[in-house]
Chain A
Amino acid sequence: MHMADALVAPAVAGTMYVLSTAAAGVSVKEVRKQASPEKIPVMGVMGAFVFATQMLNFTIPGTGSSGHLCGGMMLSALLGPYAGFLTMIGVLLVQCLLFADGGLLALGCNIWNMAFYGCFIGALLIWKPIMKKGASRVKIALASILGCVLTLQLGAFSVTLETLASGVTELPFSVFLATMQPIHLAIGFVEGLITTAVLIFVYEARPELLWGVGETSEKKEGKLSLKNTVIAVAVAAAVCGGVVSLFASAFPDGLEWSMEQVAGTSELEAEGGAYDTAAGIQETTSLLPDYAFKDSESAVGTSFSGITGSLVVVLVTVGACYLFKFFKKNEAD
């Protein structure tokens, strides 16, 4: 789901930076208002924790493949939307710097697509209303799954919009959307299940750690064991997700899968293969006019001589750099 710098045009990146900065501004203000310096190390350590848990593989029952935790929903259920959002910004920045997951220019987009939806929508619109009158296993499961699915859907939708608005792809909107959404539906379910399991554990061990749970906490409705809850939720998820969750979970990352899926089915043998398939899907599912964002056949075309000229420039630079290094070394010796 992390967007790369190559996929965003400066205007899109700038817009998303402005939006994310605004959300960050609100969050900083809110966190400062609470004025509890205690929260700062918790944010830092929990950020590192979420970052580390993203590397774990979780076996998805009955499929033999594995799912991952992204952690936005989990973080906001523990820290609240504002502190959670700021923590996610930290996680996304460190991720992009250390492991090149995402990019510096696309950071604004990534913060919006993952942190904003996960923390603000997930915590304020889903978690908080559900937990208003106290928490229970069922409510935690409901909020976690609903939260993860919905926020991932919104995130995937934004990725599609941002990429198209950047004008880097010729892929029709509907085809792009039709690949992104179902995959992230499945990813969202799995993430929701893992989040449920973790938050239920926290609820049983240290319920005071959960954010936004009403004062008038109901007595535990604990007839269901953890195992039963997980199974019940898993069945519900399988039914709702239908076929999608079955085929999508076999791949570690939905994006990778969608790539193979589209490319694989159309075989790419006939030149028109993919186009016809895509156009067919598009005709039936079109929501927006296709090529809406395609630029109007700009005059800036590449020519063969242009490429040759550029290559010469680059080669000369490379040579000059080696010379520079050579002399620098001799100087040092």
Chain B
Amino acid sequence: MKQIEDNIRELNKLQNLQQRSHWMNRLHPLGKLLVCVIYIFVVASFDKYAFDKLLVMAVFPAFCFIVGDLSLKDGLYRMRLILPLVLFVGVFNPFFDRKVLFSVAVAGSQMAVTGGVISMLSLMLKGLFSVLSAYILIATTSIEEICYALRILHVPKIIVIVIMLIYRYFGLMGAEADRITTAYMLRAPKQKGIHYRAWGSLVGQWLLRSMDRASAVYESMTLRGFNGDFRVKRKNVSATDFLYPFIWIVLFILLRHFY
């Protein structure tokens, strides 16, 4: 199935990006996480009519994509999952809100731009910026590093361990999903999906296998002294690790309030 292949490809692509030796990859994960979240927070806080002010927030993604050598195409591609709901929510604004804000001269005639058009554009731009910001984070920071940052922020250990394990085994399970569906489709070439007669047994057997794997993982953990606790090696912090988030966050606040 195409979706599985796409996801596995995307996962590999991200993992390759995370392993580059770019200076942005080497920054402390906590700083990058904070910059990303605060950026999204600031973007979301703009008024729906403040399209012009919101537009300036493009400086952050622009910097990171250009300096960080990231592909804008890949970033835009990641819009696909959230786009339907964002479009649905925004696309009717021009019909409901028809207050004219200003007009532009297009090919000799005056075209009125309404509040609805502006609020729709703002919404799309917010969607774009937040997706790009998250992409910048994940393209330069591995999930393990993000987990490390979450631990510093006092997210409970059990949640962090579960996230790490989900990430570790998702790749394997994704590949397994691919093999299972390929094997299924090879014997059922005319079906688009899994027939209802196989719903229970196909997923169910896979589930039981996964449970067995979980207990093997547990056994291998206990055999190496696991008792519910994970220890992590501390990361060193340099001056740049402080400066990078500091500069961005100050800039975001300035742009938000004084531009």
Question: Which of A35, A97, A328 counts the most chain B CB atoms within 10 A?
Answer: A97
A306 at the interface (CB under 8 A from B): yes
Within 8 A of A (CB), among B3-31: 3-4, 7, 10-11, 14
Size of interface on B: residues with Cβ below 8 Å to A = 116
Dominant SS among interface residues on chain A:
helix
**Which A residues are CB-close (under 8 A) to B172?**
48
- Let me know if B193 and A100 touch, CB within 8 A: no
Shortest beta-carbon distance from A324 to chain B in Å = 6
Are B204 and A198 in touch, CB under 8 angstroms? yes
Give the residue of B169, B177, B192, B205 whose beta carbon is less than 8 angstroms from that of A45.
B169
User: If the complex has contacts A44-B169, A51-B166, A58-B194, are A97 and B89 also in contact, measured as CB distance less than 8 A?
Assistant: no
- Interface contact A32-B146, CB-CB below 8 Å: no
Instruction: Determine the residue in chain B with the shortest Cβ distance to A171.
Output: B92
* Contact residue among B134, B159, B206 (Cβ-Cβ distance under 8 Å from A104): B134
Question: Does A145 count as interface, using CB distance less than 8 angstroms?
Answer: no
What are 17 residue pairs bridging A and B, where the CB atoms are less than 8 Å apart in the complex?
Answer: A31-B158, A40-B161, A44-B165, A45-B213, A48-B165, A49-B173, A56-B193, A98-B11, A98-B14, A100-B79, A104-B36, A197-B200, A295-B48, A302-B51, A304-B102, A307-B52, A321-B67
Given contacts A7-B89, A58-B194, 16 further A-B contacts (CB under 8 A): A38-B218, A40-B161, A42-B215, A43-B165, A47-B162, A48-B210, A53-B203, A59-B193, A59-B195, A90-B159, A90-B162, A103-B131, A170-B95, A202-B207, A255-B88, A310-B52
Is B253 an interface residue when CB atoms closer than 8 A count as contact?
no
Any B CB within 8 A of the CB of A15: no
- Chain A residues within 8 Å of B67, by CB: 321, 324-325, 328
Bits for A51-65, please: 1 = Cβ < 8 Å to B, else 0: 111011111110011
Chain A residues, Cβ within 8 Å of B138: 97-98
The answer on a CB contact under 8 Å between A6 and B127 is yes
- Bound-state CA distance A200–B205 (Å) is 11
Q: Which residues of A contact B (CB under 8 A)?
A: 2-10, 13, 24, 28, 31-32, 35, 37-38, 40-49, 51-53, 55-61, 64-67, 69, 78, 86-87, 89-91, 93-94, 96-105, 159, 163, 167-172, 179, 193-194, 196-198, 200-202, 205-206, 209, 226-227, 230, 234, 253, 255-256, 258-259, 262-263, 268, 271-275, 278, 295, 297-298, 300-304, 306-307, 309-311, 313-314, 317-318, 321-322, 324-325, 328
CB of A58 within 8 A of CB of B196, answer yes
Nearest A residue to B155 via CB reads A24
> Which residues of B have CB within 8 Å of A97?
134, 137-138, 143, 146
User: Nearest Cβ in chain A — how far from B65, in angstroms?
Assistant: 8
Chain B residues closer than 8 Å to A321, beta-carbon distance: 62-63, 66-67
Which residues of A are found within 8 Å of B176, using beta-carbon distances?
52
> Which residues of B are found within 8 Å of A322, using beta-carbon distances?
66
B55 and A307 contact, CB distance less than 8 A: yes
Considering the chains assembled together, what is the distance between the CA atoms of A8 and B191 in angstroms? 39
Task: Note all chain B residues with C-beta closer than 8 A to A273.
Answer: 95
B243 at the interface (CB under 8 A from A): no
A100 near B47 with CB under 8 A, answer no
Q: Give chain A residues whose Cβ lies under 8 Å from the Cβ of B49.
A: 298, 300-302
Q: What chain B residues lie within 8 Å of A169 (beta carbons)?
A: 89-90, 92-93, 123
Which residues of the partner chain A approach B218 to less than 8 Å between Cβ atoms? 37-38, 40-42
Interface residues of B in 163-200 (CB under 8 A from A): 163-170, 172-174, 176-177, 181, 191-197, 199-200
Q: How far is the CB of B162 from chain A (nearest CB, A)?
A: 4
**B85 touching A103 by the CB < 8 A rule?**
no
| Complex CA–CA separation, A105 to B43 (angstroms) | 10
Contact B204 A310 (CB under 8 A): no
Chain A residues contacting B54 (CB-CB under 8 Å) are 310
Say yes or no: A278 contacts B92, CB within 8 Å: yes
A9-B45, A168-B119, A198-B207 are known contacts. Are A55 and B59 too (CB-CB below 8 A)?
no
